[in-house]
Every structure is written in structure tokens, then in C-alpha cells.
A and B are shown apart, each in its own frame.
Chain A
């Protein structure tokens, strides 16, 4: 006989036992299977009654075992999941990540903006000559502007470029208008104190087209948008200024991003931060590269200045001294 299978099902502890019981009852040599095989020895009504009885038993036990198995599996899964619990809050950001240098990150953002506005990118040598660095830019040997720039010279008369402007000259000499470029890169001045390092970075812009086409209005338009892109919603102020290679020239200020213009230590209580120089390209510069009947604007900015303002860095020198205490904040 097959005994009290329901009770056996009732007593099952694990899904493994359930499987064993299934084999024991329904397997090839299972007790119920054997009962079915005995049917061949019966006949007639008796066979019919027995078959019905067995089929009912089979259905009942199958259902009971199935249910029991499901309950056991669910319970076992639950236990397993519980066993596998970890304290996910143990996670702490691992400190082996690298950092992108804030000056280069700032430079990237600047270049990306101008590329998106269809500017090309140009570069030039760091070791320059007097012609490209000064003369062609209307900075005469006796010009007081040379006072402003303390220059590294080499024994053969070459120099380390003091600004990225020589790239303007090289680009104009190597191509024809229209021109719309920026030239990012390192520049050098013989200066070292709290607010000066012998090397720093500039991004220079130059646009040249036919005479009468490029105006101060256009310059204002692009710089206002650019500064909003870099600093968010700020007021932009233009002040007339002087550069040998542009005329008219202007310096551009943004409303102080720290005090919103009410005056603080960073803006020296003025409410404004100087961030850019720009102007209409001086005719003497076009003469130097042999351009006739053209008009253009140019602008230049110090990348470190932008990086300091945007990333809230207050020591310029820490950029160049691989001070991980500062740099690793940018990971």
C-alpha cells in the first residue's frame, strides 16, 4: 500500500526532501506508479473503480506536494537571501581615482564652447621670435607695453611667448580670411609671487572677415554669451582699455560671482571681477601680415583666472606645484 502520503508531505522540511518524496511516490519505481502498474491485473468494474481512485490520489498528492514544495522553496530562498545580506553602507568611495587638472578642465570647457560656435583651434610654438610675439602685434621695441611684459629670452634672441597672440599672426600668415579661430596654450612671463607664476595659460580668439563686417557689437554679443556659459547668470561690463594690438580695446568684467555684486574680498569690494581683454584688431596688425580691406575682432583670457573663480581655488601657485591636497578634490 502507499500509506499516508499526505502526512509525509505535511512533514517535509526541505525542498530536497520534497524532491526525494516526489521520486519515491511518482518516480518510475514510485509507490503510486507501482499501484498504477497493478491495474493491469484487475478488470472490469473493479479496475475502473481502482483507476479512478488512483487518479484522484495522484491529483491530490501532486497538488499537495506542489504546494508544499513551493512553500519550502520560498522559505529557503528567503533564508538564503538573508544569509547573503551585506551592509551596503560599508561602501566608501575608494580614493584611488585620478583627477583632471582644474586648469585643463576649464580650458576644455572654453574650447568646447568655441568649437560649438564653429571656431577652429590653432596652436603655435612656445619658443617664439620677436616678430610674432611683439612687432607684428604692433608692440614696438620702445613701446611702453613691453614694460608690462617681462619676457624670458634665449641666447639666440628667441623668447618664450608672453601671450597666445603670436598664433593670430601665424594663422593669418598661413591662411586667408575669413578666419574664426581660438588658440589655447601656455604662456610665460618672468614673474613669480602670490598672484603670478612664470607659466600660465591663455585662450585667444580671432575673427577676421571683409572690411565693415566684423564690429564691436559682434564682439560684445559673443563674449556676453560666452561668459554666461562659463559663469552662469552674471552681469557683463565692458570698460574701455588699451592693448597695442586692438583699437578700440576693452576689458570685460563680470559681476562678482561670490557676493553677487555687493562687494567682497575677492572683488576688492568693487562688485566686479575682471576676466577678459578684447578689441577690434588694430590696422597695424593686419598690415604686418599683409591683409587689406578686412575687419576683425580679437579677445584673450587667462585660464587660471577662470579656473580659480569657477572652482573656488585661492592660491594660483597650487595649480603648478602638484599639491594633491588641492588637486585631488577634483576626482
Chain B
């Protein structure tokens, strides 16, 4: 809703209230002010009267005008079609600056095809107003009294503030000026201005002479009809500008008037061209409008053919220039819940504007709209005829009475609210209030336009709005202790620890969308989720499925940052991934691509690319010790010979691999390593100490020559199977190949030895190393180097 202070002032007396106070109040009562600004007609634009208007001798499209601006008569060349003698127009004098920035225009003395021009006759948009007509703006008395030569910005109408408010969907009653006036009246406790009652004129034909209205079957809608005969109807400037600000100005003058009546009263209105309905019919033909349900069970208006659908499709659609003739005016109402339920889920031809209003609740008091319309026509189109009487179909919408009690309202708010205060607020908001003096309970009936009031909490909200939340005290809550230990809480701490460790090791945290690209996944050999469980309405084709892993998104980020010139990318993410049955689990993934560190003083600018084992070492310093086992079926995106399973306590917890060189080439990225781990399987929490030896620890390195094909995991398993308790730990220290070794490698294993109960002696150490050597010789054909 966009409206000016002046417009509101026509309906409620806000003369004594500052604009800033209105701004604050609107916000506090739930009508959020999106913007507040002044009209911005530039200085130097004055009112001029076109005294004379002649065609330019050398240009068909230009006119030469003599324009009186009081101080002098200006000679102005004007290109608008709608310039003519006798009209009042905005004139930008020489030196005036119109517009800002790239639209800035300074008016200068100029010559157009040999004729001097001493200013510019302006359109509404040229002087910072919304577009109303093609061509220049015609000024009329509707904007108030004015004088020739007067600065436009000094006229009261343009010396005003414009409010733009955002309405919540429950407040259809405030989609009109009277509704907003009512809210201000209740919240400031000031009176509404009442319009004068309209009487039908005597000696005018009754509506019954022109049309008949009937209904068939059940109907939810109330309808009210009036017939008018117009003669060259024109909506004055003031109203056009007000509509244009709300983007509601129609091309047709009568349609614009109907929009204006709706804008003010909230009554949904539509016009029908009577002349079309009777075209080709005999002279005594009377059109019959029938209201009945269409195939979608929506109340519709028929006159042989379907003319409109109540609350759903009743756009005004008169011919642009038709502003004379006879018109049927229709005001209608359908309860918002009924129309919303009926329209829900159906593919209907919907007119957004009509449905927006009807589904939020238009004004059920139809006569408000019709009266305002008639008043307008009476005032601004003297030669028009308003036929007496109306046709109406009225439904009885029962407002539900509610019983509310003061204590409950006070409890919800948090401090005592006086009964008298509640009564006053509700009465100001047009509720019917029946109160017996001693009782806690108050019987209330919401007004018909407040369909959103259903229970005591709704009523409390009304009280809160009008009291103002600023006037509610802040009070700490005393409450019972409740249980808190759960998996989510533990996971929060676990994630936080892993995340901070990861960043300390050099990985940056990322957040990617939960989505992935189905076709790309298939290409990379990752089976997407079951087709029958797929997203129905993806936002783009590249985000058309749920991700199965975090790796693919991380690869995209590496590619993007490589293109930004990054030589080193190290990212991680913790997030949800899905299996093919769309079951959710949390995953932790790392990616490292390119240089293992940035060039710096320590490496003298010479940096190598990260390798498989360096990558694993980083992961291990985050999540702890693990072993890596070979993969029988490495994923398609992995380098088949640089891929493994992460094994922790004998359980597979994730994958680590180098990205397949083909994909690296395709994406033009450096050597890239990926590790993806099942978050749930990462240990967290309590670590246990075990008994440790206080005797001298010893180190022994054993170097053997062994076949290339033997995996270290096999050697590890074999040595472990010896169950030598004195071996604290052992690990490969060095491997190398030479020409002489051929298909064999030299492998050095380091053993850390320590006994729990004694200092190890040389011969017992030798026994152990002999045992190990024999094992390696027997099982793997190894030999001592």
C-alpha cells in the first residue's frame, strides 16, 4: 500500500499528529512502513497556462506554445500530442534541474528547428511523479487551489509525505485507505471523518428498467449492482496520481475510478460495458446477469457467456478510450477462506490483483464502494446519469462471537491489563463488545472485515498492537529445569571441535547447497537418489537432485578458485548427504588441490604439490589415528591406484583418494586429493589411558628387500599376528627402489620396543627381530638387506 499523509487525512483527523509519530505508530501496530518519503517535484517547475498552441511549420510532431507563467509569457516548443490551448501544465523554467544522476537534465534556452524554446512543458515522470498519461501532465483543480506561476512543489498536495507499507497476509482489512484510517483512529484514539450519506436523485430511471440479476443454485458471494450512464468521464489528476503511486492506474478512466473506489474502501469492483451486452438486440432487451457456480465450483457471473469469476478473475477490461456510455457496476464479496480453499491447487486463469485481495479479505460492506463511486460521478461528471436503486444478492456471513477473559489476556502479555482498556481498544477497532460490569469475561463480536480474529490469542494481539510492545515490560522467565543431554547437543560440540581443528591444519570451511546435478553424478559414476524420490521442482538444472556426497561440490569450488588464480585450495565441509533411498546422514569431507603451502620465506618460494601421504597426515592430525586399506572397487572419480579406505578400530569410516587425472585434466585443476568421512563414525569425547611401561624404550630398524606387490597392510597384519607384546608400535620408515633391485623394493621398518616388566636385553631383542625377519622371509620372500 502506498498512500500520502494528505489522503489519510481525508478519512481520519491527523492534523495534530506529526508524520514521524504516524510512522512510528504504523510500525508498532503491525503495518510495517517500508519507506517514507516526500513528494519530490523539483524547484523551478511552475504552473503555466497554455494560451496558444500552433503547429510547428517545419516539424509535424512539434507544437509552438505560448505559455503564461505570470511573470511572463514563454515561447515553448512542445512535442507532446496532448498539448492544447487552455490547459494548465507544469513548466520547467530555464535553469531548472530535473532528475538525478544519469537522468539529470538541466533546462536551457534552445532552438528547435528554427524556433526558440524558453522552457519545457513536462510530463508527470519528468518532474519526479509516477507515470499517469502519455504526454504532458494536465493540472486540474483536484489538487487544490493554485495560481498561474506558482511553484508546483509549494502546492499543498505536493508538499506531502508518501508512506509505503508492507502488509502481513492476515490483514486484508488494511488493503484500503479506510482500513488504515480505522487503525490510526483506534491507536491514536482519534475520530474518523464521516462522509456524507448519498441519496438517489429523484426523476431518474430505476435500475430495473435496464438489467435483471438472478442467481442459480448455491452461492457464497454477495453482489451489488448499480448502473450508470457516463458522458466523457475523466478522473481528475489528484486521484490518478494516488493510483499511479500504487501502480493501480488503469488505461480506461472508469476502470481507474473503480480501482480508486477499491483503493479507498476495499470493496472489490468491476464494470461491464452495457452497450456490448445489448448490441444487436431489440430495443426492449434487458440483459440478465446470472450468478452461478462454474465447473470449478467458483461463483461466476454469466450473461449468456461467462463474464467474470468472483474473487478470482474480474479484471477491469473496458476499452482504453471508452469513457461515455452505459455501464453496469458490480461490487462483490466472497469470504477469503472459501475462495482460497476453492482455488488452492487448481490451474485456474487467475487475475492476480483480484485474487490477492479476495483471498486476504476484501470489504464485505459493498455499499461503501458503490456510494463512493456514485459520489465521484456526481461530483466530477455532471452530465452523467446514475440510475436509481440497486440489485443485490446478500449472503449472511455470521461473525462468531467470542468470549474472552481479562486474566488470560494479561497472562499472555505478562502483566495486568485493565478490563476498561481492553473494551476501549476493541470498540475503537469496530468490535461489538458486550460487557457485564463485574465479570472477568467479555463477549465480543469481530467486525465483518476482521475474518482473522478467531480466538483469544488473536484478540490479545489486537490489544498488544494498540498498547504497543514498547509499553510491555521485559521480565525474566522462571521455569522448571529441562533435560538437555542429547545427540544433537553432543554433535554440536563435536562439529565445532573438528571444524576448528580443520581450520588450524589449513583447511577453510565451506557451505555448499544441499543439491547436485543428476547428470553430472551419473557421468562420474555416482548413482543418484531413486528417481521416484527426486525433487519435483528444482530451481535450476544444475541443482536438480540431492547430493550423495560432499566431494562433487568441493571439486566445483576448487575449479572455481583455480580459475580465480588460486594455486592452492584446501577446503572442508560438514553437511548432510543422501543415499539412493534419500536417507540423510552427515558427512565430513576434505579437499586439497595444488601447492601444499603458499610460497613464503620458509620455502624460499619453491613449493611442491601436495602428495597422498601428506594429505593423509593432515586428515590424521584432525580426526586422529587411522589405517588405510586398499580398495577393491575404487570410485570412478578416483585414481585407481591412489585410493583407500579409512579404517578405524577395524571399521571403514570413509574414503581417501586422489582425483582421477582425467577429471583433473577436464577441469584444468592441479593434483587434487579428497577424503570423505562418515561423521557419525568419527570418535569424539572420552579418551582412555592404558598402562604404560616405565622401562627403557628401544628402537630397532629392520631393512628388507621385498616384492613390490606386497602391500604394507599385509606385512602389518602378519607382524601383528605374532602378538609380540614388547612391540609398542612399528611403521614403515623408508622405501626405495634401484635398478639392481628390479621388481623388488627396499623397505625399512622401525620398531619401538619396550617391556612392561623389565629392561629389554640385547638377546631378547635379537630374538624378536629374528622372529620378524623369519616371518617376512617365509610369508613374503623377503630378505635382509
Chain B CB within 8 A of A145 CB: yes
Asked if A215 contacts B532 (CB within 8 A), the reply is no
Chain A CB within 8 A of B457 CB: yes
Binds B, one of A5-13, A26-34, A46-54, A99-107: A99-107
Q: How far is the CB of A79 from chain B (nearest CB, A)?
A: 26
Alpha-carbon separation in the docked complex, A22 to B659 (Å):
69
Asked if A240 contacts B341 (CB within 8 A), the reply is no
Chain A residues within 8 Å of B399, by CB: none
Alpha-carbon separation in the docked complex, A209 to B531 (Å):
44
> Which A residue sits closest to B510, measured CB to CB?
A322
Chain B residues within 8 Å of A118, by CB: 481-482, 484
Once A147-B169, A199-B513, A209-B480 are accepted as A-B contacts, the answer to whether A217 and B30 lie under 8 Å apart by CB is no
Asked if B481 contacts A324 (CB within 8 A), the reply is no
Chain A CB within 8 A of B473 CB: yes
- Partner pick for A242 among B27, B169, B341, B491, CB 8 A cutoff: B169
Asked if A104 contacts B515 (CB within 8 A), the reply is no
Binds A, one of B597-605, B669-677, B709-717: B597-605
Asked if B461 contacts A240 (CB within 8 A), the reply is yes
Chain A residues within 8 Å of B540, by CB: 192
Chain A residues within 8 Å of B543, by CB: 198
Chain B residues within 8 Å of A291, by CB: none
Asked if A104 contacts B412 (CB within 8 A), the reply is no
Q: How far is the CB of A244 from chain B (nearest CB, A)?
A: 8
Asked if B511 contacts A104 (CB within 8 A), the reply is yes
Cβ proximity bits A178-201 to B, threshold 8 Å, 1 near / 0 not: 111000001010111000011100
Chain A CB within 8 A of B486 CB: yes
Alpha-carbon separation in the docked complex, A115 to B360 (Å):
40
Alpha-carbon separation in the docked complex, A209 to B582 (Å):
36
Q: How far is the CB of A151 from chain B (nearest CB, A)?
A: 8
Chain A CB within 8 A of B113 CB: no
User: In the complex, how many residues of chain A place their beta carbon closer than 8 angstroms to a beta carbon of chain B?
Assistant: 92
Asked if A104 contacts B476 (CB within 8 A), the reply is no
Chain B residues within 8 Å of A270, by CB: 33, 35-36
Asked if B412 contacts A248 (CB within 8 A), the reply is yes
Chain B residues within 8 Å of A238, by CB: 28, 469-470
Cβ proximity bits B503-518 to A, threshold 8 Å, 1 near / 0 not: 1111111111111000
Chain B CB within 8 A of A15 CB: no
Chain A residues within 8 Å of B482, by CB: 118, 120, 178-180
Asked if B414 contacts A215 (CB within 8 A), the reply is yes
Chain A residues within 8 Å of B582, by CB: 127, 154
Number of A-B contacts (CB under 8 A): 266
Chain A residues within 8 Å of B360, by CB: 144
User: In the complex, how many residues of chain B place their beta carbon closer than 8 angstroms to a beta carbon of chain A?
Assistant: 102
Alpha-carbon separation in the docked complex, A4 to B540 (Å):
99
Chain B CB within 8 A of A108 CB: yes
- Partner pick for B600 among A92, A103, A198, CB 8 A cutoff: A92
Q: How far is the CB of B268 from chain A (nearest CB, A)?
A: 16
Chain B CB within 8 A of A141 CB: yes
Q: Which of B360, B465, B484 has most chain A Cβ within 10 Å?
A: B484
Chain A residues within 8 Å of B475, by CB: 215, 217-218, 220-221
- Partner pick for A190 among B469, B511, B539, CB 8 A cutoff: B539
Asked if A215 contacts B412 (CB within 8 A), the reply is yes
Chain A CB within 8 A of B332 CB: no
Alpha-carbon separation in the docked complex, A209 to B480 (Å):
8
Cβ proximity bits B562-587 to A, threshold 8 Å, 1 near / 0 not: 00101011111001100000101000
Asked if B510 contacts A216 (CB within 8 A), the reply is no
Q: How far is the CB of A28 from chain B (nearest CB, A)?
A: 37
Asked if A207 contacts B479 (CB within 8 A), the reply is yes
Chain A CB within 8 A of B32 CB: yes
Chain A residues within 8 Å of B476, by CB: 218, 221-222
Q: Which of B496, B500, B534 has most chain A Cβ within 10 Å?
A: B496
Asked if B505 contacts A155 (CB within 8 A), the reply is no
Asked if A324 contacts B496 (CB within 8 A), the reply is no
Chain B CB within 8 A of A45 CB: no
- Partner pick for B412 among A197, A280, A322, CB 8 A cutoff: A280
Chain B CB within 8 A of A173 CB: no
Q: How far is the CB of B415 from chain A (nearest CB, A)?
A: 6
Alpha-carbon separation in the docked complex, A215 to B476 (Å):
10
- Partner pick for A142 among B30, B344, B488, B491, CB 8 A cutoff: B344
Chain B CB within 8 A of A260 CB: no
Asked if B561 contacts A322 (CB within 8 A), the reply is yes
A-B contact pairs, 21 of them (CB 8 A): A98-B502, A104-B509, A108-B496, A141-B341, A142-B337, A142-B341, A143-B340, A155-B536, A188-B514, A237-B27, A237-B470, A239-B28, A240-B30, A240-B464, A242-B168, A248-B412, A248-B465, A270-B36, A295-B411, A321-B557, A322-B560
A-side residues, CB < 8 A to B, are 90-92, 94-101, 103-104, 108, 111, 115, 118-123, 125-127, 141-145, 147-148, 152-156, 158, 160, 175, 178-180, 186, 188, 190-192, 197-199, 207, 209, 211-218, 220-222, 224, 237-242, 247-251, 268-270, 280, 282-283, 295, 319-322, 324-325, 327-328, 331
Q: A98-B503, A178-B481 are in contact. List 19 more A-B contacts (CB 8 A).
A: A98-B507, A99-B509, A126-B514, A127-B584, A142-B341, A158-B533, A207-B477, A215-B415, A221-B476, A238-B470, A239-B27, A239-B32, A242-B171, A250-B469, A270-B35, A280-B457, A321-B557, A322-B557, A322-B571
